[in-house]
Amino acid sequence: MIKAVIDTNVLVSAFWTPNRRSPTVRIADAITKDLFTPLYSPQMIVEYREVLSRSKFAFSEDEVHNLVSPTPTLNSNS
């Protein structure tokens, strides 16, 4: 299976755009359909949480948790 690192901007754009056919939404859909394995470093998880928790996005704490968790993390054995 393909493994890929997802940039924070891609993730945020996927949740923010009204265009359900945008490339970022297609990437998020591919993740949910297990078409590839997303990889994240612990620092990226912190960044995702910080960005998605901004008031302009209006996600609740539970929504942010559900959007970001569970995620495979990068390590030297991957």
Domain residue ranges of the chain, discontinuous segments joined by +: 3-68
- Cβ atoms of 31 and 38 within 8 Å: the answer is yes
Locate all alpha helices (DSSP H) within the chain, ordered by sequence. 8-16, 23-32, 42-52, 61-68
Contact 52, 64 (CB under 8 A): yes
Give 22's contacts (C-beta < 8 A, 6+ positions apart): 13, 14
pTM of the model: 0.71
pLDDT in tens, 50-78: 998 999 988 888 888 877 775 555 543 44
pLDDT reading at 26 higher than 50 = yes
